[in-house]
């Protein structure tokens, strides 16, 4: 099943419960615009390299479209469409005034020098600048892109359209970025994890966890959960995994990972097979790396009682069914990792008002939105007697559907 087919399946499960007509389903699922473009650049050695870029603008019923930009060799039209669709429901679940979009370039950033990466980024903006903008579609970071890439996007966009920092979010704090944006997704993941534990009357100090992925989202998730007292027993990245029954020293692991480029070789734990981390002996499992890692093959062996989806699309629908049967609670991506887009919204608001918030305000506002969104989804799951994922889709689709009907076509 493709990534897009999986998101449509989740959509239809909720749409069936809502009694949504076929016409309305088609209207809500059909993307507004799909762009596929050539990005040709000169490499440092003088050779020409050609990459394919994508931007899918899925829905704009609730406001300008919003979504990250992924630079990864696995990027293709299906994945970008799936992620754009998720963004529509995600912005609605946290009730921020945006629609959904996503973009990407099929490129391995590890093969690019910094100046080549800059030329690829600027080339992509040359191709799509007319269809993005602060009131149309606002890109942000995702896998393989970072604040520096966002700064180049802003700079290139402004060459065509004049000063306009709100055209992209996730920018460096020194260049119209928001304090607290970098940590926001991980902080949001930790906030909903703790909210779930509270509902389950489980003290964080008596909870163990494993985190797959130690990049932007995984590191901050681990840090905030560790601070709250959760014992993080295992952490993995693309190059290895480490395990400590008594809980890893997360600040020391962060230092090790920054110094060596990965978690491998950390002296405060034992080496573990990355795949084994997903089925390890923990209460809380947090996939924070790539999509499709929880499958029909491994879901039945997952020992965690709770899965909080920090990554986008980490659970295949067949695995989701197994979790449901086995009583594993899954906090879905469209709620769990919405902290990033929420603080991107705060950055956009600050850019438009030319007014800077301090970090404590950003954190307070983020915590409020994540907790309120979790409560709304939890309440819907309880009253409708459905899993949290279906409840989140019910909330998201309901809001997008109402906005669509109210505005008319």
Catalytic residues: 102
Pick between residue 315 and residue 337 the one whose CB is nearest to ligand NAD: 337
Position among 73, 172, 274, 398 found at the interface with ligand NAD (CB under 6 A): 274
Of the listed pieces 6-14, 100-108, 207-215, 316-324, which binds ligand NAD according to CB under 6 A?
207-215
| Minimal distance, residue 407 CB to ligand NAD, in Å | 27
Is residue 193 a contact residue for ligand NAD (CB under 6 A)? Answer: no
Please report which helix (H) or strand (E) contains residue 371, including its range.
Answer: helix 359-384
Question: HSE of 356 in the Cβ direction (CA atoms, 13 Å)?
Answer: 12
Of the listed pieces 7-15, 50-58, 115-123, 211-219, which binds ligand NAD according to CB under 6 A?
211-219
Region class of 228: left (phi > 0), else alpha (psi between -120 and 50), else beta: alpha
Rounded Cα gap, residues 334 and 353, in angstroms: 28
Pick between residue 197 and residue 217 the one whose CB is nearest to ligand NAD: 217
Burial 133-145 (b: 16+ CB within 10 A, else e): bbebbbbbbbbbb
Is residue 220 a contact residue for ligand NAD (CB under 6 A)? Answer: no
Position among 207, 312, 342, 373 found at the interface with ligand NAD (CB under 6 A): 312
Is residue 212 a contact residue for ligand NAD (CB under 6 A)? Answer: yes
DSSP single-letter state for residue 294: B
Question: HSE of 324 in the Cβ direction (CA atoms, 13 Å)?
Answer: 15
Is residue 337 a contact residue for ligand NAD (CB under 6 A)? Answer: yes
φ/ψ (deg, to 5) at 66: -145, 135
Computed on alpha carbons and rounded to an integer, the radius of gyration of the chain in Å comes to 20
Of the listed pieces 95-103, 216-224, 316-324, 370-378, which binds ligand NAD according to CB under 6 A?
216-224
DSSP single-letter state for residue 300: G
Rounded Cα gap, residues 100 and 90, in angstroms: 8
Position among 123, 139, 213, 396 found at the interface with ligand NAD (CB under 6 A): 213
Position among 288, 362, 388, 392 found at the interface with ligand NAD (CB under 6 A): 288
Taking CB atoms, the residue at the shortest distance from ligand NAD is: 215
Of the listed pieces 6-14, 45-53, 234-242, 297-305, which binds ligand NAD according to CB under 6 A?
234-242
- Distance set, CA 85 to CA 55, 76, 192, 254, 333 (Å): 12, 14, 22, 33, 12
Helices 181-199, 339-353: inter-axial angle, 10-degree rounding: 140
Pick between residue 283 and residue 347 the one whose CB is nearest to ligand NAD: 347
DSSP string, 154-169: HHHHHHHH-S-GGGSS
Pick between residue 85 and residue 185 the one whose CB is nearest to ligand NAD: 185
Tell how strand 48-59 and strand 99-105 pair up: antiparallel
Touching ligand NAD, residues 122-161 (CB under 6 A): 141-143
Of the listed pieces 104-112, 118-126, 243-251, 308-316, which binds ligand NAD according to CB under 6 A?
308-316
Is residue 332 a contact residue for ligand NAD (CB under 6 A)? Answer: no
Pick between residue 184 and residue 194 the one whose CB is nearest to ligand NAD: 184
Please report which helix (H) or strand (E) contains residue 233, including its range.
Answer: strand 231-237
Pick between residue 118 and residue 237 the one whose CB is nearest to ligand NAD: 237
Is residue 237 a contact residue for ligand NAD (CB under 6 A)? Answer: yes
Q: Which of 138, 150, 143, 140 has its CA nearest to residue 175?
A: 150
Pick between residue 14 and residue 277 the one whose CB is nearest to ligand NAD: 277
DSSP single-letter state for residue 185: H
Q: Which residues contact 329 (CB under 8 A, 6 or more apart)?
A: 196, 200, 305, 306, 307, 323, 387, 388
Is residue 204 a contact residue for ligand NAD (CB under 6 A)? Answer: no
Is residue 271 a contact residue for ligand NAD (CB under 6 A)? Answer: no
Touching ligand NAD, residues 34-73 (CB under 6 A): none
| Minimal distance, residue 214 CB to ligand NAD, in Å | 4
- Report the interface residues with ligand NAD, using CB under 6 A: 141-143, 185, 212-218, 236-238, 274, 288-290, 310-312, 337, 340
């Amino acid at each position: 099943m493709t990534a897009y087919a999986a998101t449509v399946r989740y959509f239809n499960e909720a749409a069936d419960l809502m009694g949504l007509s076929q016409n309305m389903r088609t209207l809500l699922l059909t993307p507004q615009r799909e762009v596929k473009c050539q990005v040709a650049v000169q490499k440092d050695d003088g050779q020409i390299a050609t990459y394919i870029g994508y931007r899918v603008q899925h829905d704009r019923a609730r406001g300008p479209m919003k979504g990250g930009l992924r630079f990864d060799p696995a990027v293709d039209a299906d994945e970008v469409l799936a992620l754009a669709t998720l963004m529509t429901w995600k912005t609605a679940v946290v009730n921020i005034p945006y629609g959904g979009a996503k973009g990407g370039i099929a490129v391995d950033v590890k093969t690019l020098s910094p100046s080549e990466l800059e030329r690829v980024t600027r080339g992509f903006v040359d191709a799509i600048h007319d269809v993005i903008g602060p009131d149309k579609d606002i890109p942000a970071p995702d896998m393989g892109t970072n604040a520096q890439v966002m700064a180049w996007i802003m700079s290139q966009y402004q060459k065509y359209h004049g000063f306009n920092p709100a055209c992209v979010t996730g920018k460096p704090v020194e260049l119209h970025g928001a304090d607290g944006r970098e940590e926001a997704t991980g902080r949001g993941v930790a906030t909903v994890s703790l909210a779930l534990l509270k509902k389950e009357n489980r003290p964080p100090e008596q909870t163990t966890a494993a985190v797959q992925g130690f990049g932007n989202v995984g590191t901050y998730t681990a840090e905030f959960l560790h601070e709250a007292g959760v014992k993080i027993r295992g952490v993995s990245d693309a190059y290895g995994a480490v395990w400590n029954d008594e809980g890893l020293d997360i600040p020391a692991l962060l230092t090790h990972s920054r110094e060596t480029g990965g978690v491998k070789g950390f002296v405060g734990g034992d080496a573990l097979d990355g795949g084994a981390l997903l089925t390890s002996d923990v209460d809380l499992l947090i996939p924070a790396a790539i999509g499709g890692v929880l499958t029909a093959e491994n879901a039945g062996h997952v020992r965690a009682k709770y899965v909080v989806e920090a990554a986008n699309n980490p659970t295949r629908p067949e695995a989701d069914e197994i979790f449901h049967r086995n009583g594993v609670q899954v906090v879905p991506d469209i709620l769990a990792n919405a902290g990033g887009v929420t603080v991107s919204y705060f950055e956009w608001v600050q850019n438009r008002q030319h007014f800077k918030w301090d970090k404590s305000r950003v954190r307070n506002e983020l915590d409020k939105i994540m907790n309120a969104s979790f409560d709304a989804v939890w309440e819907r799951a309880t009253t409708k007697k459905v899993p949290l994922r279906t409840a989140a889709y019910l909330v998201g689709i309901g809001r997008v559907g109402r906005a669509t009907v109210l505005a008319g076509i």
